[in-house]
Amino acid sequence: MANVGRLPIRSEVEALHERIVATRRDFHEHPELSWQEQRTQRVILERLRELGLSDVRPIAKTGATGLVEGGKKGRCILWRADMDALPVPEKSALPFASKTPDVMHACGHDTHMAIGLGLAEALAARKEKFAGSVRFVFQPAEEAAGGAQACIADGVLDAPKVDVVLGLHISADVPLGGINVAPGPFFAAPTAFRITIEGRGGHAAAPHQSIDAVVVAAHVITALQTVVSRSVAPSDAAVLTVGKVTGGFRGNVIAESATLAGTIRSYTDPVRETLLRRTEEIVAGVCAAFGATFEFDHQTSCPPLVNDPAIAAFVREQGVGYFGANKILAAPSMGAEDMGVFLEQRPGCYFWLGARNEAKGIAGRHHDPAFVIDEDALLIGVEFGLRLIEGQLSAK
């Protein structure tokens, strides 16, 4: 493990380590789906009150917040942790596996809450010593939509006005003892789409009397593969995936309609607009060619997550000091993360915290029923998070 720099006494560190592991395991045993985090909320509110935080209150229906106020006035740093689990049946074989059937902390948000509470405890213990304040936000419904917006609507960015937003995601990919952080776009904006193609049904043996929606859908899917490859600049990141196809009744009936569902991912509004415009033009053109009609619906649930260049450089620099230069990755992804909603409002940085440990056989995949992480990442998260918060509190 890296040095235990800012936490003064070994016994204090060990006691904190035991508490955050116990906290994480309790959340892991009792996972709750998006917008249903009632028990989780209760546990967090109780803990924040015990720690003596101010402005402890429920937010965003099933979320929670609290403030650690330093001895002197200064900047305000917001630390965000998400709370929700997934509709995944746990198959991890952990002794503290989920007790709720078909619900599991398979993305690691249990660890985010444990690290958040560990940070709140460490900061509350030294609040007289620092200037400024730290707002903790426990956000519901990251895996669904609207959790981040609901927290902001409940005023977490104001009173005191937040200067910088920080947070982390545990990573089953990044090795323990390292991070992944980069300036600029780090997660993509996700746009869900649905294309409904209407043809004309009929007997499979009389295709000339019909408009086969399955054939049209097949051409649409193939033509859509050119949206990214032919209409987006090679230097811009973009994804278009058709993940679901439905249509038809049986093998000897020509389908009257077919539906395609998919996702578009982009880092910028202009690229998203290009992807949507070309998708619609291609669907319209192909459908017209075959005499079919269509509907095209889409919804973008959150913005891209864009890290502030200066604050990302600060996180990287702290990471080099704490983990070592060869332990810092800089690999943005086209995944989605609604922390981007906070980072649209305030400068800040979000990063991946390594928790993979192949030497111990800990090599999970996010959202998988067998998802696992190395719990040594919890204390590392608290220590490194503390460095970041203290560094940002004293920044000019």
Q: Which residues bind Zn ion (CB under 5 A)?
A: 107
The region that residue 40 occupies, defined by phi over 0 for left and psi between -120 and 50 for alpha, beta otherwise, is alpha
Instruction: Tell me if 169 sits within 8 A of 352, measured CB to CB.
Output: yes
Give the whole-angstrom CA distance, residue 47 versus residue 23. 10
Other Cβ atoms less than 10 A from the Cβ of 110: the count is 30
Query: Please, what is the minimum distance in Å from the beta carbon of residue 171 to Zn ion?
Result: 10
Instruction: Please identify, using beta-carbon distances, which residue of 111 and 357 lies nearer to Zn ion.
Output: 111
306: phi then psi, degrees, rounded to nearest 5 = -120, 115
Other Cβ atoms less than 10 A from the Cβ of 361: the count is 8
Instruction: Please identify, using beta-carbon distances, which residue of 111 and 133 lies nearer to Zn ion.
Output: 111
Q: Which of helix, strand or coil describes residue 297?
A: strand
Residue type, 284: A
Query: Please, what is the minimum distance in Å from the beta carbon of residue 163 to Zn ion?
Result: 25
- Tokens 């596996």 correspond to 97
Ordered strands of the 189-198 beta sheet: 238-247, 257-266, 189-198, 293-300
Query: Please, what is the minimum distance in Å from the beta carbon of residue 117 to Zn ion?
Result: 17
Instruction: Please identify, using beta-carbon distances, which residue of 107 and 119 lies nearer to Zn ion.
Output: 107
Query: Please, what is the minimum distance in Å from the beta carbon of residue 79 to Zn ion?
Result: 16
Close Cβ partners of 206 (under 8 Å, ≥ 6 residues apart): none
Instruction: Please identify, using beta-carbon distances, which residue of 276 and 336 lies nearer to Zn ion.
Output: 336
Give the whole-angstrom CA distance, residue 166 versus residue 77. 7
Instruction: Please identify, using beta-carbon distances, which residue of 59 and 107 lies nearer to Zn ion.
Output: 107
Query: Please, what is the minimum distance in Å from the beta carbon of residue 82 to Zn ion?
Result: 6
Query: Please, what is the minimum distance in Å from the beta carbon of residue 61 to Zn ion?
Result: 19
Close Cβ partners of 367 (under 8 Å, ≥ 6 residues apart): 86, 88, 106, 107
Instruction: Tell me if 281 sits within 8 A of 350, measured CB to CB.
Output: no
Tokens representing 348 are: 């800040």
Instruction: Please identify, using beta-carbon distances, which residue of 363 and 395 lies nearer to Zn ion.
Output: 363
The region that residue 367 occupies, defined by phi over 0 for left and psi between -120 and 50 for alpha, beta otherwise, is left
Query: Please, what is the minimum distance in Å from the beta carbon of residue 204 to Zn ion?
Result: 42
Task: Name the residue with the smallest CB distance to Zn ion.
Answer: 107
Instruction: Please identify, using beta-carbon distances, which residue of 227 and 373 lies nearer to Zn ion.
Output: 373
Instruction: Please identify, using beta-carbon distances, which residue of 167 and 262 lies nearer to Zn ion.
Output: 167
Return the closest-CA partner of residue 153 out of 345, 347, 350, 349.
345
Query: Please, what is the minimum distance in Å from the beta carbon of residue 44 to Zn ion?
Result: 17
